Structures are given as structure tokens and as C-alpha cells.
């Protein structure tokens, strides 16, 4: 299992990503227990560890309350964007993947399930899924490689007028970024342009 993924994504910890054995019904278990808590391709993509699953559920519920109780997060990328299985959508008879973007405030439905996300989407459409070219530009410009507790976030989020360029990026704490952008998203949903919002608190 995950042989194609393992040939393309190089672990940042130097340990080989050995293909995981398992049946067709155990792709999720094989992913989180075999590769969970590991980072790949210089922080480009990270897989959620079993110990972090509750924290991710809380982040998603806070920032995207409309999806509460229907998502299971399994991965996240260098920009802090989360990838989760959506219990209310199906792709080839399995839960479909949803990408939740704290920087844009959007949730995007991807046409894949857990298996095809790792075996096809991340291979054939890597730039669309993980912003590979933007990641390479960030590193070439001297940007740091985010560790598992960090991401490269927008100084001013895009849904508040920030620009999608290197000058608007910074290496930041993942949890802080999600809490701040999540509160901003919730407070600004449905507001008219120019409306004022109240204070933001660190949870």
C-alpha cells in the first residue's frame, strides 16, 4: 500500500518510507499508523499522527463549523492547508477528500478518496494539490522548512485582502495560525466589504 506515494515523497527524517501492507479496507489505518507524524519533501506534505487527530478535529470544527462531525483529518501541507475525509461525500464508494484552506477561508471538494489522493492526485496534480511551485519559490528565496508544528502562513490572509505572493508569507506556529485565521473566518462570514470585526483571542 502507498507504493506510488512512497516512490515520490521522500521522508524528511531520513528513514525510508517502506510500503505498508494491508487490505483494501485499511488504507486509513495504514496511513496514520505507518506514516503518521512524518513530513515529506522538505515540509511540503505532512501526515497526521494518531496523537494529533483530536487537535486537528478541534481546529477544523472551530474554523469551519459548517463541517463539524463529518471530517477526519489525515494530512496537511506546508501552507497549513488540511486534507480530510468527508463523511457526507463519496468517491468510488469511499469517503471523498476535502481540502480546507485557512489562508483563503475556503473548503474545496477534491474528486478523489484517500487511496486515489495519495496514488494519483499527489502524483499527477501535485502543484494543484500542494502548491509545489510556490513551495520551491519559498525555499529558493531562503524561506525555512516548516517542522510538524509549523506552517508557512499568510501575514494577511487572502480573504481579508492579502496577496498570494512570497512577500506575504512567514514561517509561523501551526496552531496559532489556525486559531487566528479560523476566528477571522468565522467573524467575517457573511459580512459586507468594509465591515468592522471585534477582537481575536488566542484559544
The tens digit of pLDDT for each residue in 94-149 reads 999 999 999 999 999 999 999 999 999 999 999 999 999 999 999 999 999 999 99
Q: Cell 502562513 belongs to which residue?
A: 153
90 confidence band (pLDDT: 50, 70, 90): very high
Please indicate, yes or no, if residue 25 is contained in any of the structural domains: yes
The answer, yes or no, to whether residue 23 has pLDDT greater than 70, is no
Q: What is the pLDDT of residue 27?
A: 84
- Cα distance between residue 46 and residue 142, in whole Å: 21
Please indicate, yes or no, if residue 27 is contained in any of the structural domains: yes
Please indicate, yes or no, if residue 72 is contained in any of the structural domains: yes
Please, are residues 12 and 39 in contact by the beta-carbon 8 Å criterion? yes
Q: 72-84 pLDDT, tens per residue?
A: 999 999 999 999 9
The answer, yes or no, to whether residue 192 has pLDDT greater than 60, is no
Grid coordinates representing 157?
490572509
- Cα distance between residue 104 and residue 53, in whole Å: 23
Mean pLDDT of the chain: 90
Domain that holds residue 174: 3-188
Please indicate, yes or no, if residue 203 is contained in any of the structural domains: no
Domain tally, the chain: 1
Please indicate, yes or no, if residue 198 is contained in any of the structural domains: no
Q: What is the pLDDT of residue 203?
A: 42
Please indicate, yes or no, if residue 201 is contained in any of the structural domains: no
Q: What is the dihedral of CA 152, 156, 157, 159, to 10 degrees?
A: -160
Please indicate, yes or no, if residue 109 is contained in any of the structural domains: yes
2 confidence band (pLDDT: 50, 70, 90): confident
Please indicate, yes or no, if residue 193 is contained in any of the structural domains: no
- Cα distance between residue 158 and residue 140, in whole Å: 23
Amino acid at each position: 500500500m502507498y507504493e506510488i506515494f512512497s516512490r515520490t515523497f521522500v521522508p524528511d527524517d531520513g528513514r525510508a518510507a517502506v510500503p505498508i501492507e494491508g487490505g483494501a479496507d485499511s488504507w486509513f489505518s495504514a496511513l496514520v499508523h505507518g506514516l503518521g507524524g512524518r513530513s515529506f519533501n522538505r515540509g511540503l506534505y505532512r501526515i497526521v499522527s494518531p496523537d494529533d487527530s483530536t487537535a486537528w478535529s478541534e481546529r477544523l470544527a472551530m474554523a469551519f463549523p459548517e463541517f463539524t462531525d463529518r471530517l477526519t483529518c489525515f494530512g496537511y501541507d506546508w501552507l497549513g492547508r488540511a486534507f480530510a475525509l468527508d463523511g457526507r461525500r463519496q468517491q468510488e464508494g469511499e469517503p471523498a477528500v476535502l481540502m480546507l484552506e485557512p489562508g483563503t477561508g475556503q473548503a474545496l471538494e477534491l474528486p478523489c478518496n484517500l487511496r486515489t489522493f495519495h496514488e494519483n492526485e499527489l502524483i499527477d496534480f501535485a502543484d494543484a494539490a500542494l502548491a509545489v511551485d510556490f513551495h520551491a519559490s519559498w525555499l529558493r528565496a531562503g524561506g525555512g522548512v516548516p517542522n510538524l508544528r509549523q506552517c508557512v502562513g499568510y501575514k494577511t490572509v487572502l480573504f481579508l485582502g492579502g496577496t498570494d505572493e512570497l512577500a506575504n508569507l512567514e514561517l509561523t506556529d501551526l496552531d496559532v495560525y489556525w486559531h487566528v485565521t479560523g476566528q477571522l473566518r468565522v467573524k467575517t462570514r457573511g459580512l459586507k466589504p468594509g465591515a468592522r470585526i471585534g477582537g481575536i483571542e488566542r484559544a
